[in-house]
Amino acid sequence: MTTEPVFDKLLLSVGAMKAGTTWLFDVLSRHPEVQFSYEKEIHYFYAAALRPGLLADRARMRRAKGYLAFDPERSAAPVLRRRVAWTANWLAEPVDDAWFNGLFPQRSPHRWIADFSNLNVLLPSQSWRDLHDRTRKLRVVYTLREPMDRLWSHVRFHLKMQDKSHLLDEWSVDELFAHIQGGDYLEHTDYVAAINRMRAGLPLDCLHVDFYDRIVGDPRGFVADIERFLQIVPQTLPDDIVSRVVNPSPPRPMPAGLAERLAPFVDGQRSGLRALGLSLPPAWG
């Protein structure tokens, strides 16, 4: 017996973190053939496979607090009603495939529903196989940034979000390196392992790998390739949207000695990506 797919057209952007995914979200959210929910990063597939507590009741309630914030003097009632209805779907149970679909009330077989979750890149190959089997058309976008730059940007951004940027002035290189090793920074920079997992679980035409360097150097070409990958009508974007910088990490030079500590890992990523058949941007060295 053949089981009908649960999802019609599903687009997942899986990172890498600090590699232009927020910029791509900003661009694609303007396209009529791509639908996002109120939450850019739902993390549903990662939670279902590896960390259910991420979408437990209390966790969803904490996130819902932000969804319901509004100014009664300025907010439009119809917009607020839609947001309240969406938040009710967000808080519904059980958290399953039907729950995920319910976060896209305007979905149709002709539009992509999109989730930009950098955690999904950690899914094992079997989870990708299972998801592909439940989806009529699945497309996954994975954008890579030069490994050393990505690591350092991630560290700065993470400490900024925790209001701990001052630690960068206080830590020695040994302490900073220990912090990197103890977090998930290296796991999210392990492009080779991620691509191997996705290639093992997905047909080749489901995965599009590209580079942050192209967002910086050829943003319109980058978008055009995504539009071809999704088979959606090309859109004309104004210069201020294409060239804008979103969600930047605070600028700060890397401390002396840290690059040398990270070099074996970074070099392994470069050689591993080449072995996978990828042509790296010249700036990667």
Same domain, 78 and 66: yes
Other beta carbons within 10 angstroms of residue 229's beta carbon come to 17
pTM, to two decimals: 0.92
* Same domain, yes or no: 193 and 68: no
Nearest to 284 by CA among 276, 273, 275: 273
Indicate whether 1 belongs to any domain. Answer: no
The structural domain count of the chain equals 2
pLDDT (0 to 100) of residue 1? 40
Confirm whether 156 is domain-assigned: yes
- Residue ranges making up the domain that contains 21: 7-34+108-284
pLDDT of residue 69: 86
**Other beta carbons within 10 Å of 173:** 15
Does 52 reside within a domain?
A: yes
Token pair 């730059």 is found at 149
My answer on whether 225 and 188 are in the same domain is yes
Cβ within 8 Å of residue 208, ≥6 positions away: 139, 140, 141, 142, 225, 226, 229
Same domain, 62 and 20: no
Distance CA(120)–CA(73), nearest Å, equals 39
Domain ends where: 70, 103, 136?
103
DSSP-based three-state secondary structure for 43: coil
**Which regions in the chain score pLDDT beneath 70?**
1-2, 245-250
Sequence-separated (6 or more) residues with CB below 8 Å from residue 231? none
